[in-house]
Amino acid sequence: MSSSKKHQIQFFSKEDLSAPYFLKIAEEILDNFQEDKLYTLNELFEFYNIKLFFDNGLYLTTWSEKRKHNYHVIIDKTFDILKRKIIKITDNCLELKLKSIEYIYINNFWNLVNKFKVYKNFSSEIFFKILNNNKRYIHSILLHKGIVDYFDNKIKEFLIGYENTAEILLTKLEKDHSLDESPQYFFPKSLSLFDKEKIIDSYLERNKPNLNYVRLIENSKDSNDLILSPKTRLKAKKKSIQLNSEISESEYIQNVSISIRFDKNQLEHVICNHTQEVYEIIYSEKFLNTLNNNIQLFHVFSQIFIFLDEKNLISLVSKTSELGLLETLFVKSKNAYEIGEEFIHKEILSELQLLIFEDYLKRNNNSIENIINSFIEYLNTLIFNNKLVFKVNTNNHSYIEKIRTLAPDYEFLLKQFKLFVDEKEIDLELIQINSFPIRFSEIHSLNNKKYIYINDNHIHFLIHHFYSDQSLLYNVEPYENKYNNLYDLLLYENLKLVNFKNFQRDIIEKLIDEKYLKVDNQGFIKLYNEILIFIIGELYRNEVLSYWNYSEVIRREIDILLDKGLLKFENTLLTVQEREYLNFYLNKKEFTNGYDLRNKYLHGTNSFSKNEHHKDYYSLLKIIILTLLKIEDDILIYYRNK
């Protein structure tokens, strides 16, 4: 058995976490290198993959400088042999060579063909024949501009006839690559916008196109690389509804019901009952009856309904940490707001909370509109010598009429608060001079260092290893199925370095060297700085820190990370995630799958359904409630610090 069959070392990327595992195998291969051996093409590709690890500065920490030098000498020799073999390939032997190469090294082959311009040795006829006989090669070939430009017309001809070309186009042009690395595909210059739309239209005509890619078409944005007509987009929308309906009717779908209600005799403020089929929340009406005024009633949204979390961040936003493993693997549009199962549950729950609370208020001769108006009056007591002009209409107009009035009034409210922060004075005449719409990112905070974000990949490295269930480090005998991350494992169990496997030990030792872990007097591995790792956990869960809502001791540690450049701060009313959430509701400038509440009623593209008008109205009320809670938090932090 050849070494390539035995080992099959493969370099993926500098950030890939399999490096210690493969480098341990590479160590064995390099130690057994024989100068006079005639290595096969596959074995030489294995050495080439070791070279890629070295080129990216990846080594085992146990290797001395002398050992690394000796390994480099071997790699240089084997690469020189591989190069000589590659540049000798011509039409006469191309097919035979490709058949001999293991599939995991096909990318490496085309990479070197491109690097050394060996493609000039191939005729168009042979190249096209090989491509048609091995259609999967197209994924490797499109990565290389030299090959694509050289065989432009032949590759275009192949793509137009290939059944998966639409998926390749969409993967490059429309897929969200925030959680993976985008393939740097190059397409033939002769492949026109018309050709691309025709390819996508043909894909939609298929009996069962992949729903994930149909959604990419549905949520696509026009660009220099892809322009789709309204007719194609409508076809994608209808196909998406059809395919989604078929999935919903299948036996593989499990439905979960969400139920909320008030109990007149319940003493606890909230009781949650969660089974596999039903998520039930019971609120105490007895407690609500003790709330004496509209301000206390308004705070039900933050304190009981948890529209804001304990750090006064909007809890309803979509979070990467709440996505299931399968959801992270789904093909997603870069133009679409992330909608996972947990996000859907939060949305449904918030809608039900609004409706059930409105029912309670009506039974007590009150309304959500009234308590919003009272809350505005309360905020005005906090901003002395200024006044926010905003009032929700309480008359009996239709929901569509209310929305058309409320949406611009909401924007006027935002402009007033922005002016208050920037100028410390609300000048209504100054606002009226500028009719341009306001961006959420333009609304500043009264407070310095309001929100903290990750500013360095090293923080992502720590998040992955301490908190992700995809890390390789927490799977340690005999606790394989007990914990989901390294943080919990080390918090509750006593482990020594010997408990970790060889490929895990390298990273554990790195974390010890960098003072994230320590070995105590008994030889157990423990957290070196618990506050720092707590902060890392907060960033994992929320992707942001609300600086002034943490204790002084935690803020001091955040300041150290800011000084090191590992974190950065922003002074805005809303976090990046909160701005995305509100944009998802109000417009389609950022996300093509948004509700577009602000624009569709302004431009007359809204639905004719009264039920949808009712739903949209309460969604707009929710946005206003969230905004007012964030304004209150900002003002109270300002006075607290002052």
Is it the case that residue 179 has pLDDT exceeding 70?
Answer: no
Question: Would you place residue 178 in the very low, low, confident or very high pLDDT band (cuts 50, 70, 90)?
Answer: low
Question: Would you place residue 428 in the very low, low, confident or very high pLDDT band (cuts 50, 70, 90)?
Answer: confident
Tell me the HSE value of 430 on the side-chain side, using a 13 A CA sphere: 11
Cβ partners under 8 Å of residue 262, min gap 6: 282, 283, 284, 285, 288, 356, 360
For residue 3, the model assigns a pLDDT of 40
For residue 534, the model assigns a pLDDT of 97
Q: What does the alpha-carbon distance between residue 297 and residue 356 come to, in Å, rounded to a whole number?
A: 13
Q: State the chain's mean pLDDT as an integer.
A: 91
Instruction: Determine contact, residues 505/497, Cβ cutoff 8 Å.
Output: yes
More confident residue, 506 or 129: 129
User: Could you read off the pLDDT of 78-120 as tens digits, one per residue?
Assistant: 999 999 999 999 999 999 999 999 999 999 999 999 999 999 9
Angle at 181 (CA atoms; ends 175, 182), nearest 5 degrees: 45
Tell which residue, 529, 575, 548, 538, has the closest CA to residue 640.
Answer: 548
Within 10 angstroms of residue 206's Cβ, the number of other Cβ atoms is 12
User: Could you read off the pLDDT of 254-309 as tens digits, one per residue?
Assistant: 566 888 999 999 999 999 988 777 889 999 999 999 999 999 999 999 999 999 99
Report the interhelical angle of 530-542 vs 552-563 (nearest 10°): 80
Q: What does the alpha-carbon distance between residue 612 and residue 120 come to, in Å, rounded to a whole number?
A: 61
Least confident stretch, 173-182, 528-537, 541-550, 570-579:
173-182
Residue position matching structure tokens 């308590």: 371
Q: What are the tokens at 272?
A: 């949650």
For residue 501, the model assigns a pLDDT of 86
User: Could you read off the pLDDT of 206-236 as tens digits, one per residue?
Assistant: 988 988 899 889 888 888 999 999 999 999 9
User: Could you read off the pLDDT of 48-77 as tens digits, one per residue?
Assistant: 999 999 999 999 988 999 999 999 999 999
Q: What does the alpha-carbon distance between residue 374 and residue 378 come to, in Å, rounded to a whole number?
A: 6
Is it the case that residue 388 has pLDDT exceeding 80?
Answer: yes
